[in-house]
Amino acid sequence: MNLIVLGLNHKTAPVEIREKLAFNTQESIREGLKRLIQTEGINEAVIFSTCNRVEVYAYSNEGNEKIIENIKHFLSVFHHIPVKDFEKYLYIYTDRDAVSHLFKVASSLDSMIVGEPQITGQVKDSYEIALSERATSLILNHLMNRALFTAKRVRNETRIGENPVSVSYAAVGLIKKVFDELSKKSILLVGAGEMAELAMRHLIGSGIKNVYVTNRTYARAEELAREFSGSAVAFENLKEQIARCDIIICSTGAPNYVITEQMIKEVMPLRKYKPLFLIDISVPRNIDPACNNLDNVYLYNIDDLQDVVDSNILERKREAEKALNIVDEETEKFFQWLNSLQSVPVIVSIRNKAEQIRQEELKKFKSRFKELPPEVLSSVDYLTQSIINKIMHSPTVALKNNCDSNEILIFAARRLFGLDSDEE
């Protein structure tokens, strides 16, 4: 019984290798699975392919070395690339290490950005494709379900996903600390930088409905306004619009301050000094840093946001240590389950033998006491069945639950109940 994962990821292989081995469409994964499960020695398989990793999970009853070579050959033939061109970038894990690796991947502990939530959904999608292609069965079905369960535990029992680790998300997190309710706030996007647009999308996703866009090129402002279901504002009316908005995200290509301290000084009385949140994602900066000295004005620039991101990354790493303990627990549980499978045939054999003896003795009893009424014989039948069940209870529990000495218990049970001599 062997579990194997063979793959490469962003840590082990450059993008030019990853893209050559990637399964870019569902159709290519389905075709790959069809070929894999027809490969000699592979009983079950799952292909997991994202922009950062390509992994093949396989279950086999044959030796690891042969299966590993077969999977390499499969990748080579499928992607028309010689094994020697990608072999040095591969990692290979077997059995307990393979299980632990999958649980870490599904829980986003092996991701480029630790704690990012998309990976769990990607693992689930890959499993569902394998399931629909009937490429999995008892072992990998249980393994993949436990991987998703482990990811859920990590998400619920740690804070690994709570702190944003992108500049745009960090901006949204800071804004939420100032404003309790975002749905009634107004936001103005000044310029059209990529990170500013991302922050804008996150804020709209958080419930902000009053969206305005301004740009030196009014047509571009109109274009973005349509995209965000907002309104375009002429750049000449920037100061007046700031007075009407609560959050300003600025990202233009201007070489100087677009929003000055004097402008904000004039704006705040018009706002009746309600809090004003300014985010400057421009380099060079487009908002005068002196604005941050004004009452009820909160200004964050790109370095401030990056500091938040760096702090959050450290926090995620601390949470990752807690998550690894969960992965270890679930890996152990999976192998307890796996070991219990080895006990099932022994338990069935012992029960069959006990039932055979019971039936033989019942037959002798009935032959000897033919005069007994049927209700008495029925009671005797029930009594003997009950005795068998009680005698079998403790050995059954021990064989199912024990992990460390499972093989010893199985060997002892076979000897004690004479199962080997019966089979001979």
371 annotated to a ligand binding site: no
200 annotated to a ligand binding site: no
118 annotated to a ligand binding site: yes
117 annotated to a ligand binding site: yes
207 annotated to a ligand binding site: no
Let me know: does 169 contact 194? Beta carbons within 8 Å.
Answer: no
7 annotated to a ligand binding site: no
Helix, strand and coil percent figures for the chain, each rounded to 5? 60, 15, 25
116 annotated to a ligand binding site: yes
122 annotated to a ligand binding site: yes
111 annotated to a ligand binding site: yes
Catalytic: 245?
no
**Between β-strands 231-234 and 247-251, what pairing exists: parallel, antiparallel or unpaired?**
unpaired
53 annotated to a ligand binding site: yes
Token readout for 41 is: 């020695």
Let me know: does 304 contact 310? Beta carbons within 8 Å.
Answer: no
256 annotated to a ligand binding site: no
- Tell me which of 51, 245, 250, 403 is the catalytic residue: 51
194 annotated to a ligand binding site: yes
Closest CA to 246 of 286, 203, 282: 203
22 annotated to a ligand binding site: no
What would you report as the CA-atom Rg of the chain, rounded to the nearest whole angstrom? 32
Annotated binding-site members for NADP(+): 191-196
Annotated binding-site members for substrate: 50-53, 111, 116-118, 122
Catalogue the active-site residues: 51
Annotated binding-site members: 50-53, 111, 116-118, 122, 191-196
